Every structure is written in C-alpha cells, then in structure tokens.
Amino acid sequence: VGHRFFTDFRYDTQSAVQVPELFTRAIAAVDLLEAALRSIDSREAATGAAGAGGRLGFDDAGLTVKQYTRLEELLPAGWELVASGGMVEGLREVKDAGELERIVAAARLADEALTSVLQAGVVGRTERDVAIDLELAMRRLGAECPSFPSIVAAGEHSALPHAEPRAVAIPKGTLLTIDWGAQLDGYCSDCTRTYATGELAEPEREVYELVREAQARALAAVRPGASGREVDQVARGIIEEAGHGEHFGHGLGHGVGLEVHEAPRLSRTGGEQSLRTGQVVTVEPGVYLPGAFGVRIEDLVVVTEDGGQSLSGLPKTLTVVD
C-alpha cells in the first residue's frame, strides 16, 4: 500500500514543503483525475496484475457530477467506483494535541479581535463596517482569513440565522448577533455572541435568558459517549418547553477543524454517533422570531474525559455594548 499526493505545477514547490513524507508526490502534467487513474494502470502493469481490477473509493460528498462522469470514462477495466464520502472527514474528527493547540489559538485570536472591535464602539456604525473591522482585526492578529464570512446582525435582522451584514446602522436598544471565527495555521474557530446595544424590551431579555440557559445546559451535557442527538435534545427540550421549539430550526452544533463545518453533527437527524474525547464541536442553540429579533449563543468546545471544555472565553451574561 502506498500513499500518493497528486498536484500540478502551481503547487510543486509548496507541496514539497507541506506534504508529509508518508506521501509520494506526483506533479500531474494532465488533469489530476487522469493522472491518478493512470497511476493505477501503471501500477497494474508493473505488478503484472493488469486487468485484475479493484475498488476505487471517491468522496461522493465532494465530487461533482462532471468529475464523476470523467472518472467513469477513465476507469480501467475491472475497476469499481465505491462512494466513500465521509471516510477522510471521519479520520479528522478526533483532534491530536497539535491540532487542538491550533484551534485553541484560533479561538483566542478571534476573541481578541472582537474585544478590540467592541471597545472601539459599534452603535451607529453599519453592520457591514463592523464586520469588515472584525475581519481586518483577525488578519492583523495573524489569522490567514476569517473561517467564514462574519455575521453582524442587529434588531429584526438578527432573526435570520445566516444574516449578511447590511449597510444599515446598528441602533441603540436592540439585540446584536455576531458570529465570527478565525482561520489560523489551517484550523478554524467558530463563536457567536448576542449583545444588547442598550436597554432591551422584556421579550428580548426573556429569549436571551432562555437561549443562555439552553446553551449552558447543553454544554454541561457534552461528554464522551453522549450522542449528538442527546446533547441537541437537552437544548431543544428547554426551548420547546418555553414555546419556542419552532423558532429553533437548525441543529445544535457541528464539528470544527480544518473546515468550519465538519463531522460530527449535533442534531436531531444527523447525531446518532457518540461523542469521543478529542472531538471539537460547537454548541449553538438559537431562537429566531421572524420580523422581530433573534438570539444565538455559540461556544467552541473540546470533548474531554471530564466533559465539554469551552474554548470561547467571552462572557455569556447579557452584556451591553455601545
């Protein structure tokens, strides 16, 4: 069994530095799929096993239909294509010490960036302007990039779970949701805080406390052996009991690592698997009241023997920002 890494001319020098020695590097002159399949053919010829065939796994969660068709065309006789989506992602679920260190550093950097932006003041500035400042702050602190486009959403806009920052000024006396993360040394962070920009109305305060309670209880339920669905249900049960079940339409959380959304999932539908020590997941319940306001609180959490250890250092008690 060998490990081969295929790339093209553009990444020749870079891959020589970055690809582990375990892999034999191959610089493809033709397209990567063709180069990979030719290597199967030449290996068969070398071992005298031509035509013996085999099974070729591919990531059906990432390959386009066009690439799949091409694979079928190029496949040597006797070979079978086997959908193996999630196989590589599965290997990434449990993080080693070096990976954890990088994720911790990314989370700290993101906290520091938001702290500086909040200190400079956000009320009266546009959501877009604040988002740009936040992303710039992360880059200045050393992040390669934000791990996803930052969400800065005030008032009724915060009722959109994936709101895009608008060219609209953040008013006083409303809720402000900020969901942001940094990518540092290849690894991502992900965190959400919802702030008050002054005195809030009673329903806003109530929903904030509900989400805070749900988030804290779900966080306390994170431990090796608990299923993603069970942890999701802890938060969901509290939110349902308060009559807001239909306002929490997304899953509780997701794995974070090289990608900001990866396995495992903490949700009603995709959370059958038990959590394992060394996984890094988010715990992010939310309540969204269309046309009114929304609250989401998200921590990045390492699963340890002793339970969930949050990497998000910013306070979760309702905080007023100016």
C-alpha 232: how far from chain center: 17
CA distances from 71 to 43, 48, 57, 83, 236 (A): 18, 23, 11, 12, 43
Which C-beta is closer to Zn ion: that of 37 or that of 102? Answer: 102
- Candidates 112-120, 186-194, 229-237, 265-273: pick the segment binding Zn ion (CB under 5 A): 186-194
Which C-beta is closer to Zn ion: that of 121 or that of 149? Answer: 149
Which C-beta is closer to Zn ion: that of 179 or that of 232? Answer: 179
Q: What is the rounded distance in angstroms from the CA atom of residue 28 to the CA atom of residue 6? A: 6
Among 248, 227, 117, 134, CA closest to 189 = 134
* DSSP codes of every residue in 283-308: E--EEEETTTEEEE-BEEEEEETTEE
- Candidates 39-47, 160-168, 188-196, 206-214: pick the segment binding Zn ion (CB under 5 A): 188-196
CB of 256 to Zn ion, least distance (A): 7
Among 93, 99, 133, 190, binds Zn ion (CB under 5 A): 190
Q: What is the rounded distance in angstroms from the CA atom of residue 169 to the CA atom of residue 128? A: 9
Using CB under 5 A as the binding criterion, the count of chain residues that bind Zn ion stands at 5
Q: What is the rounded distance in angstroms from the CA atom of residue 215 to the CA atom of residue 213? A: 5
CB of 188 to Zn ion, least distance (A): 10
Here's the x/- map for Zn ion, 250-289, by CB under 5 A: it reads as: --------------------------------x-------
Q: What is the rounded distance in angstroms from the CA atom of residue 94 to the CA atom of residue 206? A: 37
Which C-beta is closer to Zn ion: that of 180 or that of 293? Answer: 180
CB of 151 to Zn ion, least distance (A): 7
CB of 18 to Zn ion, least distance (A): 27
Here's the x/- map for Zn ion, 291-310, by CB under 5 A: it reads as: -------x------------
Grouping H, G, I as helix, E, B as strand and the rest as coil, residue 269 is coil
Q: Which of residues 220-249 bind Zn ion (CB under 5 A)?
A: none
**In the chain, which ranges are continuous DSSP H helix?**
12-18, 32-47, 65-74, 87-92, 97-120, 127-140, 202-221, 228-241
Q: Which of residues 192-221 bind Zn ion (CB under 5 A)?
A: 192
Q: Which of residues 156-185 bind Zn ion (CB under 5 A)?
A: 179
Q: Which residues of the shown chain bind Zn ion in the complex (CB under 5 A)?
A: 179, 190, 192, 282, 298
